[in-house]
């Protein structure tokens, strides 16, 4: 079952097509990465999913149902550009935002108390948002986004502007919510974050999906015969000949690129022939960043 | 609907609970009252230091004039000018008036005032006034009129309007004056209220756009709900403030009446004297009574609810446009100002028409602009006290209501696009496109 299905979704603005015939599925209970550079159409897509705008063409299904007026209550959205009422107190503000998501005063109060305790910020209730630091405001914003227990959470660049401690705090919360069954869409242009967090991704560029699937599978598909070696002794650079190229070489390890038609066995055999003691040997899979650059290069051509 | 209520609640309470609201609500009337008090104080006070002026009367007018006028105390003397000048130098008197002999053939009469310090404006006009009637009487007598004829020469002219249809309410000579006064006050208040609270709506919307909270809000509620919630919430703040002012105003005026009326001895003697003087003057007393009577003949039971109806219509009409402007404008102050003119020009025009309508409530301009929705909410209330025909009021309310619906629709079209549009300059051409945008 898919929490979200997009079918041939199109969003046009005056002079350009922000989302151009996009289709993909997001399975329930997954942390799903939506990747792409700025202007790829991620935010336009999110705005359609959150009912802020409407698709010009195509269908958006939440949990199998076409998008309707009740869905926004089941979605939690942390926008990239975030803001709060500066002059309002943290407590009042969170209550207000929670009640706009359909919670009763009492439920909202209880849930908020739980979250404030969890983040150890119960004493912020009567503080004005303007008095908090930017990182602190992000925590408040995160609570506003999750307080109504959404079944789908959309996080647009959730870690931008957070220090490492708060990044980890939020990351842990994301994992925990996911463990409790919340599906999560994680939109970012920072590829390395996705590799750590997401199981499945979709890669967008210029309004189109260029790549989608399981992160591991994608990486395997894009393996490019790079190997990392650790060994004792001097590296016999003469033995490589034209078949291999050293990409990186330092005291501990080196990265070697096998050229077209040559493989790891050939490399190992050669090294063993020279009696070099190999401590470790592993394939270096390309980073999503590399894959992205490769893919976008192709789609731009 | 419950979400709109939530938004209204936030807009209302976050404003009403601030210190600024308390300050403006309670200090603004005090400030205005103080301003008028100071103004009246300086205007009525004029010259207060007693001046002893000696008159050398060569005209024989002395017995016909009062010997005391405001701060001026007069004294007749047979001494010569030279002697009096010595007295002046010694500081015994403050000035010398020399009245030359009268000549009925001259149309100019030159009174000489000897002193080193000129008379204040109010003092010289008091002196001129004091002598004008005796001199006229003198001349008339010289022309052969009898004293008994002179007594009858002054005529008090008054135009008393009479209704043609017996069903119309009785008119009096000051009906027009009183209804103009009421209309003028109401028109001014409505103009300022619409402008002040309308621009609060604009600032509120613009703040939400610029601090980007709108993105979170719009993912929970529809843009039009957000817009209406804000417009209504701030409108209620305005009503609250006026409610408090109305209550405060009546409490204070009742209190003041009780204080000055019943406890006269305690009040400032000077003010008391003035009030007593005014009340003793039968002319002022009867005018006051007439004004009060005239005020009581106005159909307040009908007119006050209509004031509120027009406030609501006018406020909704303009505040929704203000909301659209706030949504369209970015953080560029000039841009916001250029857009604000769209609202301010018709509103200011309506206000000027309203002022002229206070003077002539049945002019063609006043009638039409009290029916055309853009100006009606400010102009019609001005005319109400003078009793315009019922069909004009009904037509005007209906047209305004329809126009309000149209303006809310139009504004919400601009609002929903503008609120999410960053970094794009909102030209009027651009705005026209936004109206046509699909969601």
pLDDT digit string, tens, across residues B292-315 = 777 777 777 788 888 888 888 999
In the prediction, which pLDDT does B264 show?
A: 41
Element (H, E) at B54: strand B51-57
Contact B7, B225 (CB under 8 A): yes
Q: Is the dihedral of CA B129, B132, B137, B140 positive or negative?
A: negative
CA B330 to chain A, closest CA, distance in angstroms equals 15
Burial class (CB in 10 A: 0-12, 13-18, 19+), B255: exposed
Domains and CATH numbers, chain A: 2-220 (3.40.50.300), 224-284 (3.30.70)
Query: Across the interface, which of A72, A87, A99 has its CB nearest the CB of B219?
Result: A72
CA A256 to chain B, closest CA, distance in angstroms equals 48
User: What superfamily would CATH give domain B51-151?
Assistant: Periplasmic binding protein-like II (3.40.190.10)
A75 and B217 within 8 Å at the Cβ level: the answer is no
Query: For B80, phi and psi rounded to 5 degrees?
Result: -80, 165
Chain A residue with CA closest to B430: the answer is A14
B6 and A96 within 8 Å at the Cβ level: the answer is yes
* pLDDT tens per residue, range A131-185: 988 888 888 989 999 998 899 999 988 888 788 888 888 888 889 999 988 999 9
- A contacts of B221 (beta carbons < 8 Å): 100
A85 and B212 within 8 Å at the Cβ level: the answer is no
Chain A residue with CA closest to B1: the answer is A100
String of b and e for B116-137 (b: at least 16 CB within 10 Å)? eeebeeebeebbeebbeebbeb
B14 and A82 within 8 Å at the Cβ level: the answer is no
* pLDDT tens per residue, range B47-73: 667 888 888 888 877 777 778 877 788
CA angle B56, B61, B64 (to 5 degrees): 125
CA B334 to chain A, closest CA, distance in angstroms equals 24
- A contacts of B216 (beta carbons < 8 Å): 77, 79, 82-83, 97, 141, 144-145
Q: List C-alpha distances in Å: A150 to A2, A147, A174, B215, B260.
A: 15, 8, 12, 17, 67
Query: Which residue's entry shows tokens 């009183």?
Result: B178
Neighbours of A208 (CB within 10 A): 16
B215 and A82 within 8 Å at the Cβ level: the answer is yes
- B contacts of A46 (beta carbons < 8 Å): none
Which one of B14, B219, B431 makes the best mutation probe of the A interface by having the most chain A beta carbons within 10 Å? B219
Chain B residue with CA closest to A74: the answer is B220
Chain B residue with CA closest to A85: the answer is B213
- B contacts of A84 (beta carbons < 8 Å): 211, 213
- A contacts of B220 (beta carbons < 8 Å): 72-73, 97, 100-101
B420 and A85 within 8 Å at the Cβ level: the answer is no
A84 and B211 within 8 Å at the Cβ level: the answer is yes
- B contacts of A72 (beta carbons < 8 Å): 219-220
Query: Across the interface, which of A56, A83, A100 has its CB nearest the CB of B3?
Result: A100
Which one of A60, A100, A108, A129 makes the best mutation probe of the B interface by having the most chain B beta carbons within 10 Å? A100
Domain boundaries, chain B: 51-151, 175-436
A79 and B212 within 8 Å at the Cβ level: the answer is yes
A101 and B220 within 8 Å at the Cβ level: the answer is yes
A100 and B439 within 8 Å at the Cβ level: the answer is no
Chain B residue with CA closest to A49: the answer is B219
In the prediction, which pLDDT does A99 show?
A: 92
In the prediction, which pLDDT does A134 show?
A: 81
Chain B residue with CA closest to A54: the answer is B439
Structure tokens at B159: 């135009």
Q: Mean pLDDT across the stretch A266-291?
A: 82
Count chain A–chain B contacts defined by CB atoms under 8 A: 61
Q: Is the dihedral of CA B5, A70, A202, A197 positive or negative?
A: positive
- A contacts of B426 (beta carbons < 8 Å): none
CA B331 to chain A, closest CA, distance in angstroms equals 15
What is the distance between the alpha carbons of residues B280 and B283, in angstroms, rounded to a whole number? 9
Interacting residues of B223 by C-beta distance below 8 A, sequence separation 6+:
B412, B415, B416, B419
Nearest to B57 by CA among B87, B86, B88, B97: B97
- A contacts of B212 (beta carbons < 8 Å): 79, 81-83
- B contacts of A50 (beta carbons < 8 Å): 219
A85 and B215 within 8 Å at the Cβ level: the answer is no
Query: Across the interface, which of B14, B215, B439 has its CB nearest the CB of A54?
Result: B439
pLDDT exceeds 70 at position A88: yes
Q: Where does the pLDDT of residue A295 fall: very low under 50, low under 70, confident under 90, or very high at 90 and above?
A: confident
What is the distance between the alpha carbons of residues A177 and A101, in angstroms, rounded to a whole number? 18
* pLDDT tens per residue, range A214-251: 888 888 888 888 888 887 776 666 666 777 777 777 76
Query: Across the interface, which of A73, A86, A92 has its CB nearest the CB of B211?
Result: A86
Query: Across the interface, which of B14, B218, B439 has its CB nearest the CB of A88?
Result: B14
SS3 B222: coil
- A contacts of B218 (beta carbons < 8 Å): 52
Q: Output the average pLDDT for chain A.
A: 85
In the prediction, which pLDDT does A138 show?
A: 85
Nearest to B419 by CA among B226, B204, B209, B218: B209
CA angle A282, A213, A190 (to 5 degrees): 75
pLDDT exceeds 70 at position A207: yes
Query: Across the interface, which of B212, B221, B438 has its CB nearest the CB of A83?
Result: B212
B212 and A51 within 8 Å at the Cβ level: the answer is no
In the prediction, which pLDDT does B260 show?
A: 56
What is the distance between the alpha carbons of residues A46 and A43, in angstroms, rounded to a whole number? 5
Low-confidence ranges of chain B (pLDDT < 50): 262-268
A82 and B216 within 8 Å at the Cβ level: the answer is yes
Strand partners, A203: A35, A211
A72 and B215 within 8 Å at the Cβ level: the answer is no
Contact A205, A34 (CB under 8 A): no
In the prediction, which pLDDT does B266 show?
A: 43
3-state helix, strand, coil in chain A (%, to 5): 40, 30, 35
Residues of B with CB under 8 A from a CB of A: 3, 6-7, 10, 14, 211-221, 420, 433, 438-439
**Length of chain A measured in residues:** 301
In the prediction, which pLDDT does A255 show?
A: 83
Query: Across the interface, which of B6, B211, B214 has its CB nearest the CB of A100?
Result: B6
In the prediction, which pLDDT does B213 show?
A: 87
SS3 A255: strand
pLDDT exceeds 80 at position A298: no
Contact B297, B170 (CB under 8 A): yes
């Amino acid at each position: 079952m898919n929490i979200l299905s997009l079918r041939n979704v199109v969003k046009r603005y005056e002079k350009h097509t922000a989302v151009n015939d996009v289709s993909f599925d997001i399975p329930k209970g997954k942390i799903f990465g939506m990747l792409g550079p700025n202007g790829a159409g991620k935010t336009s897509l999110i705005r359609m999913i959150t009912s802020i705008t409407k698709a010009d063409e195509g269908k958006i299904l939440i949990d199998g149902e076409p998008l309707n007026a009740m869905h926004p209550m089941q979605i939690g959205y942390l926008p990239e550009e975030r803001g709060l009422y500066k002059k309002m107190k943290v407590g009042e503000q969170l209550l207000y935002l929670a009640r706009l998501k359909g919670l009763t005063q009492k439920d909202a109060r209880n849930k908020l108390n739980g979250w404030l305790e969890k983040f150890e910020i119960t004493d912020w209730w009567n503080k004005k948002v303007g008095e908090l630091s930017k990182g602190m405001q992000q925590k408040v914003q995160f609570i506003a986004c999750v307080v109504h227990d959404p079944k789908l959470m959309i996080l647009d660049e959730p870690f931008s502007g957070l220090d490492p401690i708060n990044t980890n705090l939020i990351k842990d919360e994301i994992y925990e919510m996911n463990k409790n069954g919340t599906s999560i869409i994680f939109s970012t242009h920072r590829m390395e974050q996705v590799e750590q967090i997401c199981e499945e991704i979709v890669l967008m560029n210029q309004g189109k999906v260029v790549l989608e699937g399981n992160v591991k599978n994608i990486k395997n598909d894009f393996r490019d015969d790079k190997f990392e070696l650790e060994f004792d002794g001097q590296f016999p650079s003469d033995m490589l000949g034209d078949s291999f190229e050293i990409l990186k070489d330092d005291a501990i390890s080196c990265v070697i690129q096998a050229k077209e038609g040559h493989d790891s066995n050939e490399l190992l055999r050669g090294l063993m022939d020279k009696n070099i003691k190999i401590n470790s040997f592993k394939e270096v899979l390309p980073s999503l960043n590399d894959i992205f650059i490769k893919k976008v290069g192709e789609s731009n051509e | 609907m419950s979400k709109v209520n939530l938004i209204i609640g936030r807009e209302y309470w976050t404003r009403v609970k601030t210190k600024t609201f308390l300050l403006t609500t309670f200090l603004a009337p005090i400030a205005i009252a103080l301003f008028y008090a100071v103004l009246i104080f300086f205007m009525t006070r004029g010259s207060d230091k007693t001046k002893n002026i000696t008159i050398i009367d060569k005209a024989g007018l002395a017995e016909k004039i009062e010997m005391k006028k405001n701060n001026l105390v007069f004294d007749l003397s047979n001494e010569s000018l030279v002697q009096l000048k010595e007295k002046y130098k010694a500081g015994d008197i403050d000035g010398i008036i020399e009245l030359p002999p009268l000549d009925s053939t001259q149309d100019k009469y030159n009174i000489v005032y000897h002193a080193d310090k000129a008379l204040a404006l109010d003092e010289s006009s008091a002196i001129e006034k004091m002598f004008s009637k005796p001199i006229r009487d003198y001349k008339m007598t010289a022309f052969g009129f009898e004293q008994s004829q002179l007594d009858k020469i002054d005529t008090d002219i008054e135009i008393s309007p009479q209704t043609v249809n017996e069903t119309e309410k009785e008119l009096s000579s000051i009906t027009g004056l009183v209804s103009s006064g009421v209309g003028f006050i109401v028109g001014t208040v409505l103009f300022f209220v619409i402008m002040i609270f309308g621009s609060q709506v604009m600032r509120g919307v613009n703040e939400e756009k610029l601090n980007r909270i709108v993105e979170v809000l719009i993912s929970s509620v529809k843009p039009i709900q957000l817009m209406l919630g804000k417009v209504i919430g701030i409108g209620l703040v305005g009503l609250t403030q006026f409610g408090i002012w109305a209550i405060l105003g009546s409490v204070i005026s009742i209190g003041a009446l009780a204080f000055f009326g019943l406890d006269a001895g305690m009040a400032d003697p000077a003010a008391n004297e003035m009030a007593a003087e005014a009340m003793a003057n039968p002319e002022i007393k009867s005018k006051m009574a007439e004004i009060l009577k005239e005020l009581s003949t106005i159909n307040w039971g009908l007119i006050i609810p209509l004031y509120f109806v027009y406030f609501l219509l006018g406020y909704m009409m303009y505040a929704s446009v203000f909301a659209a402007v706030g949504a369209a404008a970015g953080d560029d102050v000039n841009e916001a100002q250029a857009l604000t003119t769209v609202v301010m020009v018709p509103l200011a025009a309506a206000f000027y028409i309203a002022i002229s309508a206070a003077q002539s409530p049945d002019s063609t301009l006043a009638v039409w602009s009290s029916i055309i929705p853009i100006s009606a909410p400010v102009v019609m209330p001005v005319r109400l006290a003078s009793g315009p025909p019922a069909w004009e009021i009904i037509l005007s309310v209906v047209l305004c209501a329809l126009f309000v619906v149209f303006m809310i629709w139009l504004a919400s079209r601009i609002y929903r696009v503008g609120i999410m549009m960053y970094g794009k300059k909102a030209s009027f051409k651009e705005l026209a496109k936004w109206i046509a945008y699909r969601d």
